[in-house]
Structure 1
Amino acid sequence: MVSFATPLQLGPLLLKNRVIMSSLTRDRNRVPGPLQVEYYTQRTGAGLILTEGTLIEPLGAEWSNAPGIYSDEQVAGWKKVVDSVHNHNGRIFLQLWHIGRVAHPLLQDGRPNVAPSAIAAKGGKFRQLEGTPGFVTPVAIEDPEHYVALYKRAAERAKEAGFDGVDLHNANGYLPHQFIDNTSNQRTDQWGGSAENRCRFTLRIIDEISKVFGNDRVGIKLSPSGGYNDMGMTEKDTIETFDYLIKELVARRIAYIQITRYWPERDPMKRGTAVDIFRWRNVINGEHTKFFANAEFNAEDGTKVLKEGLADAIVFGRLYIANPDLAQRLINKDELNSNFNPKTFYGGSAVGYTDYPTYEQQHSTII
């Protein structure tokens, strides 16, 4: 019977377990430093670590201290992280990130936000700005191939840093997702209209970064249900679009497809459509491309999904903040630490970042 402890063959990589650390924005340092080395090294018990969203260019930021992979200094910083993870028998993929139209309006260096179409997302609240300033209207991208090239260059830099692979952030209303959704993409050229055209941007990126790492070291994150950052098509359009996209991704034999469940907390505008992510299990059957299930899983849910063969691995997010040894706790059925402070999730120092105890540290007896 498959469990958290069961190893998983992911392309050429053998993962020691099926507990995946989700990408978690922590907004601590544009250039990874000693604190990031410590943070990721603490979590090397995971079968695979997915880094926080990492920007592919200096613009396109939502956070003032989100890391990037667009400079030599950042490559050098990430290399120290990767080397330490590898020295502790861990595996780590870099998540490639561009957030397009939902970027922080004061972090654009005087340049406009970009998107597939000049359509502003509704709502908008930035943690670093008081009130609800709202999202700005973006400028329609003239040549999407320019951004495809940026993703490829970012993958090349990730390879220089020694990462085991890359994860394309194609969810949560960020740039590739904006191309997929027909409410944010109303282009009439080859990049818009039909499901095939709206998925072209994503598939072009996958094809180009696969040339860098090999298709079996490339993964992708999808959120079909939408909701976050004003994403959400009709149920019919959602199913049609993601049926096509997932079929094309599986045909490319990429390492994994990570799909997030509908998360009402992330849908303040009530834009999402709650789609059963396991409807795609028959397509992502694990023969070449693995199915990673994400969003608000606990130990019981994850155990059940693995036991029933609905997914090949479970991706955990916030639980990995307060439990640096989460994989070991899940495997050993140890109690999880739920004592975390959301105020320290984003920005700051080691507090709420690297100071959470392991199970052993929590229960050690001082003599």
Structure 2
Amino acid sequence: MTTLFTRYRLGSLALPNRVVMAPMTRVRAAAGGLATPSMARYYAQRATAGLIVTEGVQPSLVGQSNPGTPGLYTDEQVASWRPVTDAVHANGGRIFAQIMHGGRVSHPETTGLRPVGPSAVPAVGEVFTPGGRLPAPVPRALETAEVPEHVQSYADAARRAVDAGFDGVELHGANGYLISQFLSSNANLRTDRYGGPVANRIRFAVEAAAATAEAVGAERTGIRLSPAGPFWGVEETDVPELYGALLAELSRIGLAYVHLEATTDEETLLGLRRAWPGALVMNPVLPLGPKQTGRADADHWLGLGADLISFGRAFIANPDLVERLRTGLPIAPADEATYFEGGDRGYLTYPAYQHSA
């Protein structure tokens, strides 16, 4: 019987359990998008996860969404990540970098650059800037000739990730960021080969995945998706057709895994499970929704055919989450006020479970 604690082989990696630490923005990077010693401690504390996926890492300056996030587009950034991957590996863990291009979900006050997107349609809501939240600006629509440059940015960041010691990368194709914007039917109003019908709207995602797989190997490349996810005002029509077509193309590339979020109904998600022949990581509850993933959610999706289960917020306050899940120990609550405040409080200050005498 498959449980959360059954071993799993993901490409060349032998995972000791099926618990994945989901990517979560924590805005603790230093100036210049550099990883820090605190980040090394944070991820090393959680190395008992079968696989860690980092916070979103921008592949270029224009791809940066939030202030205080790390990058993988300079030699200095690569060097800053090496102590992080070394610390995770020294503690017996495995770690992928999530490559995240924010697209229109950015601001000139953060990057000094006008955000870009598939079309000149702003995101819905306020974006984070160094001076606080501001309305999302109208992005500059990418010219057709520019799109390959942004496709290639994922592959270039992936090469740097491997140079920095990461075991692989996950492309952030979810939650309203650039890949998700191209998939969208309201953020993508293009009339060229990247817009309009489903075959065109999936093209950017497929090209980014193919370029990354070519750069570092398909067995080191995963992708995260949020079918029908409403983030940042993104809408998608024909979700089963859209994601069925996308998964069919991704299956030809032979990616290490697809990481699905529970952003649509279970019937649709099960159809996508059947359509995807490879490893499936399932995030069983709506990201940033009212509920955190628990053991029952994990067991439910393992029973439905998921191979690995990702846990997000539960990992913030529980560096020993795997052991707590294994032994039925209480899951400690996290202090939401410290999610994005910077510093070590609410980052490195959560202890492992203390057994009373």
- Common fold: TM-score over 0.5: yes
Seen in structure 2, the aligned counterparts of structure 1 residues 18 and 11 have a Cα distance that, compared at 3 Å, is same
Select 2:316's aligned residue among 317, 321, 342. 321
Shift of 1:278: 2.3
Share of identical aligned residues, percent?
40
Equivalent position of 1:251 in the other structure: 252
Residue ranges of structure 2 left out of the alignment (5+ in a row)? 286-291
Select 1:149's aligned residue among 148, 152, 169. 152
Seen in structure 2, the aligned counterparts of structure 1 residues 65 and 240 have a Cα distance that, compared at 3 Å, is same
Equivalent position of 2:11 in the other structure: 11
Q: Runs of 4 or more off by more than 6 Å in structure 1?
A: none
Equivalent position of 1:112 in the other structure: 114
Q: Distance in 1 between matches of 2:65 and 2:56?
A: 11
Q: Which amino acid aligns with 1:19?
A: V
1:310 equivalent to 2:305? Answer: yes
Equivalent position of 1:280 in the other structure: 272
Matches within 5 A, 1:1-367: 1-29=1-29, 30-109=33-112, 111-126=113-128, 129-130=131-132, 133-142=134-143, 143-234=146-237, 237-262=238-263, 274=265, 276-285=268-277, 289-294=278-283, 295=285, 296-306=292-302, 308-338=303-333, 340-359=334-353, 362-365=354-357
Q: Secondary structure at the match of 1:219?
A: strand
Shift of 1:332: 2.0
Q: Secondary structure at the match of 2:219?
A: helix
Shift of 1:129: 5.0
Shift of 1:280: 1.3
Q: Secondary structure at the match of 2:247?
A: helix
TM-score by length of 1: 0.90
Shift of 1:166: 0.5
Q: Distance in 1 between matches of 2:251 and 2:136?
A: 34
Q: Secondary structure at the match of 2:63?
A: coil
Q: Secondary structure at the match of 2:109?
A: coil
> Do 1:105 and 1:135's aligned partners in 2 also have CA atoms closer than 8 Å?
no
Q: Which amino acid aligns with 1:112?
A: R
Q: Distance in 1 between matches of 2:241 and 2:345?
A: 45
Shift of 1:118: 1.0
User: Aligned-residue CA RMSD in angstroms?
Assistant: 1.6
Q: Distance in 2 between matches of 1:50 and 1:20?
A: 7
> Do 2:72 and 2:161's aligned partners in 1 also have CA atoms closer than 8 Å?
yes
Residue ranges of structure 1 left out of the alignment (5+ in a row)? 263-272
Q: Distance in 1 between matches of 2:51 and 2:271?
A: 24
Shift of 1:364: 4.8
Q: Secondary structure at the match of 1:102?
A: coil
Q: Distance in 2 between matches of 1:210 and 1:197?
A: 20
Seen in structure 2, the aligned counterparts of structure 1 residues 290 and 33 have a Cα distance that, compared at 3 Å, is same
> Do 1:65 and 1:347's aligned partners in 2 also have CA atoms closer than 8 Å?
no
TM-score by length of 2: 0.92
Q: Distance in 2 between matches of 1:46 and 1:130?
A: 34
Q: Distance in 2 between matches of 1:194 and 1:10?
A: 33
Pairs aligned (count): 344
Q: Which amino acid aligns with 1:252?
A: I
